[in-house]
Structure 1
């Protein structure tokens, strides 16, 4: 049996385009959920203080599903590869849930279906991000790939957010206590976009085998240990790499939950540093997701109940605001690679979060529907950074054989603050914020600024090294 150094292959523009295109559909469905679920809950009779608890299903499902899906996608070998079966299954389930969601008739049905929808989206998203990390071979390529991801996320969000507003003029006014027809049609369109875009990536991205001729399951632990020892003896591995999870054998007899715990204990330092930033960032994002549309309808347009036409138009205008910040994200995503070269990824990330935080806080003094579009531009800059820079920073310190499970664990840093928000925002809103939706959004801006401060602890110049950085690989035919 012979082994040789793995060669890195540069992805061209259209390969990165096809690789990332599926995120157009994923984000279309996800934005429909984020932009409309709070309003759907209010249409069905929920109070503002109840909304965070009704959203609890989404982050809980992500916390449970993503690390498990990541673990098994690392170990899946099919004709479609490691990641694609999970991406496709999640897309189909998400599309079915999107079709069913606007037809619910009670709060408990909506909350239960949101659980199914969010779990299905997580089933797609986590392997998709690992899929991108699998293909990118260096820092510049990772930045371009995750920036293209941010581009399609921005485009998908623009289309999804504007869809109800564009359809509104062609649909009759809804009856009290019912979900508007424009919202229903938007969810149907979202289901088609979700499946279609994911199928494009699956069909247009060819199998990319790792070089060699031995499948990973056939490599014996003693052979792997011998290779690592030879590399260590020749000075190819640093002390950090020698202690990598990859150097501890295949653990083929270890239960999956025990290996999951062991992997968690060996989390790279930079990933732990980013966890603090992610906590504040996504605490702020959840404030926006939950309360921006109702805040615009009630505090900007002056609606007092969810049954009056002013509320419906305010929710539709919130879609325009969401589309605006995603257009800003769309444009910023093209400029980020150059900006990171000038100021570093760490500096760019802090700048983006400061833009977002100051923009959200400025909404406190605004009551003109058109004027609030200006802060949305600044918030879009933050959104572009949030969707790309953390993943570019973390991807380069992850061992390739464990990319899926680590991406799942990293995404837990997104859902844990959302769980904290779901459990606490209702109480905070009732006792401290006078049940004002807009004040919760402003609080989200404060969390963004805290995240910008937390960025300073990241050690970008000294990344954790993994076995992959030694360019040592077993010859294999693993499909990415």
Structure 2
């Protein structure tokens, strides 16, 4: 039931690892990159609560509750992912990112809800960790695709303002895997029907209408559980950190470690491929960590909060260490620590959240919870990164990674706000 997340993560990893490279190739200045990313979190802020609300009220005898949204998102994501590297202007690339992120969001939120739908509380940590394991595989492979294409003889350079073929091939392969893996989940996974189908139909009929739906979503936002709000603080600092990485890892590392700034040069494009390789490392480590957690959570109960605190703190140290590395190979160590945080971010908050909300509203609450993912990204995109790293640390772009590390450490400490044992421990 989580296999489709392999494809979703191919989309996210290619987007996160290489859209900034595309923006730079098309002439974007480093300081303007975050604002070019703003469409992605803005889309998530709007799309995910709506999709969650609609999927809670959907039931199809063949496709169930969540799977219709998997299919719609898969088709749109595949098209957007394939065409993104063919952008010939910045506005086209930004538009492609907007469409891609909106499409992936349509599929992603129901995947989170599906795990909570099908598993009892005692198995949810295990379920979300297995999902994270699949995400780790996707991150690792997709982040290395341009490098793999280069090794196979595909050109890694192009004329100024043109995206190299290695990136185009990687996005095409990612599009194929995205559609195939989501389709596999759609056609091999069953969903449980509502316990009382007639009551479900009556409630759905009573909640029909655009304004009623919007009103319901806002009621749920205002009445969200206190645990959800506390988790939101943790999520804010966590996702601010990772948005900073996705926006600035390529310019920061190519400039600081490889001393390459000419985006049409072989040195820059090889360095950008290497950055993708390092980003793949955090995916690989998150996969290994998730595999370890999957074994542990299948055997014993865990303290979700303490595990999440440790993982986020380790990731923070990893980001800060990027500034200190003296040899490129040392970045694998830095991103290994980041991988611990990534594995936990993709599993523990959702396991804790699913233990604190009404199962009948799982979709809409998972969608609302996404607000705490996209709001920090919006804050970062409209100037939060540029203002903070320059004010706190200095003008060099590598200080964005120090800012990301500081943010993850704050996220780690914010876990102390969560005190409900029913949430912090497996049921």
Pairwise TM-score range, normalised by the shorter structure? over 0.9
TM-score by length of 2: 0.93
Does residue 58 in structure 1 map to residue 17 in structure 2? no
Q: What is the aligned partner in structure 2 of residue 349 from structure 1?
A: 308
- Please state if 1:272 is matched with 2:226: no
**Structure 1 segments (4+ residues) deviating >3 Å:** 210-215, 218-221, 250-254, 337-343, 426-435
Give the Cα separation in 1 of the matches to 2:48 and 2:154: 38
1:408 to 343, 367, 370: 367
Q: Report the Cα distance in structure 2 between the residues aligned to 1:458 and 1:431, rounded to whole angstroms.
A: 31
| Pairing 1:81–2:74 present | no
Aligned position for 1:102: 85
Change in CA separation of 1:282 and 1:220 when aligned onto 2, cut-off 3 Å = closer
**Which is worse superposed, 326-335 or 75-84?**
75-84
Aligned to 1:177: 161
Cα deviation 1:256-284 (Å, max 9, x = unaligned): 11111111121111111100000111111
The whole-number CA distance in structure 1 between the counterparts of 2:197 and 2:34 is 52
The residue that corresponds to 2:347 in the other structure is 388
Q: Which residue of 2 aligns with 1:419?
A: 378
Deviation readout 1:221-250 (Å, 9 max, x if unpaired)? 9xxxxxxxxxxxxxxxxxxxxxxxxxxxx6
Residue in 2 that maps onto 1:399 = 358
Q: What secondary structure, in the 3-state scheme, does the structure 1 residue paired with 2:261 have?
A: coil
Q: Give how far 1:342 is off.
A: 7.0
For the pair shown, the structure with the greater C-alpha radius of gyration is: 1
Q: State the partner residue of 1:263.
A: 220
Higher relative helix content: 2
- Are the counterparts in 2 of residues 339 and 348 from structure 1 also a CA contact under 8 Å? no
Query: What CA distance in whole angstroms lies between the structure 1 residues aligned with 2:95 and 2:261?
Result: 28
Give the aligned partner of residue 174 of structure 2: 190
Match of 1:27 in 2: 9
Q: Is the 8 A contact 1:51 1:426 kept in 2?
A: no
The Cα offsets for residues 438-468 of structure 1, whole Å up to 9 and x where unpaired, read as 210111000000001100111231449xxxx
Superposed CA offset, 1:137-177 (max 9, x none)? 123x1011100110010000111001110111312232222
Unaligned runs of 5+ in 1: 1-18, 222-249, 470-480
Count how many residue pairs are aligned between Structure 1 and Structure 2: 418
Stretches of structure 2 lacking an aligned partner (at least 5 in a row): none
| Closer, same or farther: CA 252–115 of 1 in aligned 2, 3 Å | closer
Taking only aligned residues, the RMSD between alpha carbons, in angstroms, comes to: 2.1
